[in-house]
Amino acid sequence: MEKDLAVKTRTGVIDCDVHHAVPSMAALYPYLSERWRDYVKEHNIKSLEPNYYPRGNPLSARPGSEPSPGALPGSDLGLLQRQVLEPWSVQYAILHCLYGVQMIHNEDLAAQLAQAVNDWQVAEWLEKDSRLRASIVVPSQNPLRAAEEIHRVGKHPGFVQVLLLVRSEKPYGKRYYWPIYEAAEQYGLTVGIHAGGVTGYPIMPVGWPSHYIEDYVSHAQAFQSQLISLVSEGVFVKFPRLRVVMMESGFTWVPSLMWRFDKNWKGLRREIPWVDRLPSEVMRDHIRFTLQPLDEPPKPEILLKVIEQMGSDEMLLFSSDYPHWHYDEREEALPAGLPVDLERKILFENARAVYRF
């Protein structure tokens, strides 16, 4: 089956969401300035592992993805090559480093750590395997400094995207964040919004939930909010070449959001006159979604219906979401029963059209 897939795709799969991990804070020491290296040591900051996928939680890591007992899944290049790049005959894999940089309240420290993580990504990953690409980690606490970081590393061909986390301090459409989009657009980078982020606001607009499952399932709402904000505030009018990729957002909610958004735009568009066409059209042109974790309808044909209702077969990008555990057999990452053309689009064509490989 894995071989089948490789034959099917020939040019190789593009995996748009793979996670590598900073093994420990010490791994970043070589990339920190002396002042901040000592700061981190003296404050005994051992890790900024954000715990979005708590250890021991069954979604968190596929069995066998720990490089050694106790080591973080995704922290070893060799294992990642063997478990993702080779079996999938991956042409490109886009790495997303989920590290707690965006959660730190001291923006100077956050900016330093973002730099360190990016330099670490270049040295330890991008320069070691030409199939790897990565997202630039930015201190989104301060969008101007985030833009500076994009300018610092944006020309490196290994970076194809800027990483933001879906839980933000303000809705991402706000002009406050525009320096990030301006810089991303300038270098032809997409903006990838990934699940996660901790800002002090509850994931649910109604208050704090009690359980991990509530937090996990509610993420779709946060993505919807960001999407509504990005379109309404006119980000894609201001930055017409910008594309936003939503990662781990799910996408089966997209048709109903499009319908609701379009319907209300017809009556309320005077508030946002720069949105001069249906919001669903803007979404089709500018928003993409990674495949896994998939909201899996009970029958494959329902999924096809959803894609039909999205009104575009160009919005979905293949992702394994390695090492997170959402499906058992590797080939199940791609849902069964898709027409061959659509499979090709999801597996690599759509990604090629969006990212600057």
What's the token pair of residue 271? Answer: 């508030």
What's the token pair of residue 10? Answer: 């020939």
List the one residue from 238, 284, 330, 344 that touches another protein (CB under 8 A).
238
Cβ nearer to another protein, comparing 276 with 341: 276
List the one residue from 56, 200, 207, 267 that touches another protein (CB under 8 A).
267
Tell me if 105 contacts another protein by CB under 8 A.
no
List the one residue from 278, 304, 306, 342 that touches another protein (CB under 8 A).
278
Least CB distance to another protein at residue 13 (A): 37
List the one residue from 69, 70, 207, 273 that touches another protein (CB under 8 A).
273
Dist CA 82 CA 89 (whole Å) = 10
Phi-psi region of 289 (alpha: psi -120 to 50; beta: other; left: phi over 0): beta
Cβ nearer to another protein, comparing 43 with 266: 266
Task: Calculate helix-pair angle for 212-232, 279-286, nearest 10 degrees.
Answer: 110
Least CB distance to another protein at residue 271 (A): 9
Least CB distance to another protein at residue 248 (A): 28
Name the β-bridge partners of 249. none
Tell me if 269 contacts another protein by CB under 8 A.
yes
Cβ nearer to another protein, comparing 31 with 261: 261
Least CB distance to another protein at residue 219 (A): 27
Least CB distance to another protein at residue 240 (A): 11
Cβ nearer to another protein, comparing 156 with 238: 238
* Beta carbons of 133 and 355 less than 8 angstroms apart: yes
Cβ nearer to another protein, comparing 239 with 355: 239
Least CB distance to another protein at residue 151 (A): 23
Q: Which of residues 195-234 bind another protein (CB under 8 A)?
A: 233-234
List the one residue from 270, 328, 329, 340 that touches another protein (CB under 8 A).
270
Least CB distance to another protein at residue 127 (A): 39
Cβ nearer to another protein, comparing 174 with 305: 174
Q: Which of residues 143-202 bind another protein (CB under 8 A)?
A: 175
What's the token pair of residue 58? Answer: 């069954």
Tell me if 82 contacts another protein by CB under 8 A.
no
Tell me if 259 contacts another protein by CB under 8 A.
no
Tell me if 241 contacts another protein by CB under 8 A.
no
* Beta carbons of 342 and 312 less than 8 angstroms apart: no
Residues in the chain, overall count: 357
Among 96-104, 266-274, 303-311, 332-340, the segment contacting another protein (CB under 8 A) = 266-274
List the one residue from 86, 276, 295, 308 that touches another protein (CB under 8 A).
276
Residue ranges binding another protein (CB under 8 A): 175, 233-235, 237-238, 265-270, 273-274, 276, 278
